[in-house]
């Protein structure tokens, strides 16, 4: 019977599947707006561009894939009228005075076009290596895991704990490196998070062999310290004053030797210079131990002249590096030194 239908039909469909999909699309066209959950939202139409266009979508509650429970208002499922509407993790939307980041999408061999989005509850702010201010909406996990107070030398309280941040992976956020610091909070009450070594999860490809297809970036971060010498504590930009913006000819600050480690009982002397390409430029620095978590008894720090300082490793300390601020009129840099054991 089916064979006879295909023979007599003037424009037979390519398959029963196509017929069903076309029928479902027609149903959506007729009944999509017959609902109370249809809203006008904005969608980033070119990935990573920051340019948005308006469209209609149904916004419904999201369900946890782990527990099956309904999630709160920070999670929503978007349903689109067109079954071919493009979706994918990392895509951004804007509605209800918030940016939203797609954390889960259903489009591979799926009849309807839908995605689960998570509300961006903060903004990453940082300076590029070239001195450009950058920012990107992000979603920070609600709680700090393993919060603690470690008591250091002279009863200093050393905070601890870690969390995770989700952000769209684009040309800006691809510049984020291990050890990068970010500030969150309000003026007068900022909190600092520092990206763990190995904490930049930028390798979850949407297409197995396409390294450019990773679109959602996860950052594993730990609680760190504010640095009044280098952080902008008004705008909330960590390490803003480490970047050279006053001298266009300066494009690098080089510390020699650059290994950044000293064996216990030994002294290392470090030379700091401005460079333009491979050319050494004149310029002086003021050196100081800044925002360091290393107890003072483990090292002896000495300024030798305007371009040189030394550090004696009195006793190994492997929990944190010794951070030395090299501050100059044409730019500044923090140089980390590891106080290793006698090997």
Residues 129-145 have pLDDT tens digits of: 777 889 999 999 987 77
> For the domain 252-339, what is the CATH code?
2.60.40.1080
Mean pLDDT computed over 149-153: 51
Between residues 248 and 276, which one has the greater pLDDT?
Answer: 276
**Residue length of the chain:** 343
Q: Is the pLDDT of residue 247 over 60?
A: no
Residue 204 to residue 325: CA distance in whole angstroms: 35
Instruction: Give the CA distances from residue 122 to residues 100, 187, 222, 332, 340, in Å, rounded to whole numbers and listed in that order.
Output: 11, 14, 17, 28, 38
Q: Is the pLDDT of residue 246 over 60?
A: no
pLDDT of residue 12: 55
pLDDT band at 4, cuts 50/70/90? very low
pLDDT of residue 267: 94
Cβ–Cβ < 8 Å for 324, 309: yes
Mean pLDDT computed over 174-200: 92
pLDDT band at 175, cuts 50/70/90? very high
Mean pLDDT computed over 198-213: 89
pLDDT of residue 133: 87
pLDDT band at 251, cuts 50/70/90? low
Residue 99 to residue 119: CA distance in whole angstroms: 6
Ramachandran category for residue 308: left, alpha or beta (phi over 0 → left; psi -120 to 50 → alpha): beta
Q: Is the pLDDT of residue 14 over 80?
A: no
Greatest Cα pair distance, the chain, in angstroms, is 96
> For the domain 32-119, what is the CATH code?
2.40.10
Between residues 313 and 157, which one has the greater pLDDT?
Answer: 313
Tens digits of per-residue pLDDT, 89-100? 999 999 999 999
Query: H helices then E strands: how many in the chain?
Result: 2, 22
Closest C-alpha among 218, 170, 160 to residue 192: 160
Q: Is the pLDDT of residue 185 over 90?
A: yes
Domain segments of the chain as ranges: 32-119, 122-240, 252-339
pLDDT of residue 334: 82
Identity of the highest mean pLDDT range in 2-11, 51-60, 220-229 = 51-60
Tens digits of per-residue pLDDT, 255-294? 888 877 899 999 999 999 887 767 788 888 999 887 667 8
pLDDT of residue 55: 94
Q: Is the pLDDT of residue 229 over 80?
A: no
pLDDT of residue 153: 47
pLDDT band at 40, cuts 50/70/90? very high
pLDDT of residue 30: 86
pLDDT band at 159, cuts 50/70/90? low
Stretch (H or E) spanning 20: helix 16-31
pLDDT band at 250, cuts 50/70/90? low
């Amino acid at each position: 019977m089916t064979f006879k239908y295909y023979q007599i039909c003037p424009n037979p469909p390519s398959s029963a599947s196509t017929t069903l999909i076309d029928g479902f699309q027609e149903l959506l066209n007729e009944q999509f707006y017959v609902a109370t959950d249809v809203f006008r939202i904005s969608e980033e139409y070119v990935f990573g561009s920051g340019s948005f266009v308006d469209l209609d979508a149904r916004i419904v509650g999201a369900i946890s894939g782990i527990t099956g429970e309904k999630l709160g208002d920070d999670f929503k499922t978007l349903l689109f009228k067109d079954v071919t509407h493009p979706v994918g993790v990392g895509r951004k939307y804007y509605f209800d005075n918030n940016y939203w980041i797609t954390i889960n999408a259903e489009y591979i061999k799926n009849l309807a076009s839908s995605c689960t989005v998570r509300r961006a509850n903060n903004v990453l702010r940082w300076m590029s290596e070239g001195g450009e201010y950058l920012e990107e909406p992000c979603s920070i996990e609600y709680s700090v895991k393993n919060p603690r107070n470690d008591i250091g030398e002279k009863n200093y309280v050393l905070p601890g704990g870690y969390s995770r941040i989700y952000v769209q992976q684009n040309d800006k956020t691809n510049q984020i490196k291990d050890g990068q610091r970010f500030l969150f909070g309000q003026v007068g009450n900022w909190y600092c998070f520092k990206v763990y070594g190995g904490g930049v999860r930028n390798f979850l490809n949407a297409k197995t062999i396409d390294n450019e297809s990773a679109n959602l970036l996860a950052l594993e971060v730990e609680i760190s310290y504010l640095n009044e010498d280098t952080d902008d504590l008004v705008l909330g930009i960590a390490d803003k004053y480490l970047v050279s913006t006053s001298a266009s000819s300066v494009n690098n600050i080089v510390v020699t030797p650059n290994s950044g480690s000293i064996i216990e009982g030994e002294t290392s002397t470090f030379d700091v210079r401005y460079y333009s390409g491979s050319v050494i430029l004149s310029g002086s620095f003021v050196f100081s131990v800044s925002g360091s978590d290393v107890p003072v008894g483990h090292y002896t720090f000495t300024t030798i002249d305007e371009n040189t300082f030394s550090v004696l490793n009195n006793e190994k300390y492997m929990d944190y590096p010794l951070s030395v601020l090299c501050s100059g009129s044409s730019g500044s840099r923090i140089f980390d030194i590891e106080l290793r054991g006698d090997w």
